[in-house]
Chains A and B, each alone.
Chain A
Amino acid sequence: MIAARGLSKRYGFKRVLEGLTFDLERGGFLVVTGPNGAGKTTLLRMCAGLAIPSSGTLEVEPDRSAIGFLGHEPLVYLELTALENLDLYGRLYRVPERRERIGMLLERFGLWEARRERASAFSRGQLQRLALCRALLHKPELLILDEPFSGLDADGAELLDRELAGMRGQRTLLVATHDPERVAPLQSGRLALA
C-alpha cells in the first residue's frame, strides 16, 4: 500500500527526514513515533500527497479519493455547521447514500445534537470529532492520522480506540502519535523517527 525507499525531505537547508525506508502492507497499522520536529507530520503529509519528497521514492497505492487524512488542523469550515461541512465533503467525494452516512457518523461521534451548530462554536474536542467524521466519511482504504487523540476527552479517546480496533485488518492505517502504547495492541509495526 505504501512503499518508501530512501525518502528524504528538506526545507531549505533544514533536513527533516533522511533516507527513510519502510513498507506498509494493505490492512497494516503502522505507528509513527518520535519527538517534536522528528518529521512525523512531514512524513504523513508526503504519504497523503500534500508534500513532495526532496529525494527517494514514495509509492502510495490508492489515489487521493481513497485516502482519509486527519492533520493538526480539523480541515473544516468554521462558519459552516457540522452538517454542512460533512455534506460539502460528501458531495466532493461522491459518497453514496451521503445523508445516511453523515447521520450515522454524527451519531457515532456524539455530534448529532450539535449538527446544526457552526463549527466555530465547537470545543477543541468536538472539532477533533468532526475532523474524524470528515476523514472517515468516504470509507477510505488508507487512513492517515496525525495525533488523532489530540483534544479528545476520555470518552472521545475510548470511542476512537474502538473505531481503530474495528478498522484493524480492513483498512490500512498510518498513525503518528506521542502515545504509542495506547494503540500498541493494534499496531502491526512501529516506525521510530529520531
Chain B
Amino acid sequence: MRRYLGDTVVLARKDLRLELRARDTLPAMLLFVLAIFAVFHFALPSGSSRLAELGLLWVAIVFTALLGLGRAFVAEREQGLLDALVLAPCDRSAIWLAKGIATFAFLAVAEIVALPIVIGGVGASVAGSPGKYLGFLALYDAIFALLAWASFEYVVTE
C-alpha cells in the first residue's frame, strides 16, 4: 500500500508539474467556467428562481470537470507516453488515480474562481450559508474523484 501511494504521489506530482509548464488543462477549464457563467448571466431571465441558478452552478462544474478529464491524458496521447507508464512496474490504477488527483486539483481551482462569480454575478445567493455550500462542493469533489477512479479502474480491468 505504501508503495502504491508512493507511485501515486510521484505520478500526480509529475502531472501537476506538467500543467505548471505546459498549461494544457487549467486555462481551458477556467475559460470554460467563466464563459458558461457569462452565458448564464445573459440567458437567465431576471427573477429566475434561486434553485435554477444553483442548478446551473452544478451543470457548469460537471462540464468543467468533464473538460478536465478529457484533457488529462493530452501529454501521454500526443507523445505516446502511455507505453512507458504501462511498462513501469507500478500498479496501473495508480496512473489513473494520479490523473484523478491532478484533475481534482484543477477542478478545485476552477471552483474557487466559479463560486464568487455565482455569488456576485449570476445572482444565485449563497451569502446566507457559504459554509454549507463549501461543504457541498467538497462532497461533490469527493464523489467526482471516486467516480473518476472507479471508471478508470473499469477501463484498466476491461
B-contacting residues of A (Cβ < 8 Å)?
48-50, 63-65, 67, 69, 71-73, 75-80, 84, 88-89, 91-94, 118, 134
Contact = CB atoms under 8 A, between A and B. Distances in A.
B21 A79 contact: yes
Contacts, number: 65
B86 interface: yes
A49 B18 CA distance: 27
Contacts of A118: 21
Interface stretch (B25-33, B73-81, B137-145): B73-81
Interface residues of B, number: 20
Given A76-B79, A134-B84, 19 more contacts: A64-B88, A64-B89, A69-B84, A73-B81, A75-B80, A75-B81, A75-B83, A75-B84, A77-B75, A78-B79, A79-B22, A80-B18, A80-B21, A84-B17, A88-B10, A88-B14, A92-B7, A92-B88, A93-B89
B87 interface: yes
A89 B84 contact: yes
Interface of B: 6-7, 10-11, 14, 17-18, 21-22, 75, 79-81, 83-84, 86-90
Given A91-B10, A92-B10, A77 B87 contact: no
Nearest to B75: A77
Given A77-B14, A79-B21, A80-B18, A69 B83 contact: yes
A58 to B, nearest CB: 16
A132 B14 CA distance: 21
Nearest to B76: A77
Nearest to A68: B87
A103 B22 CA distance: 26
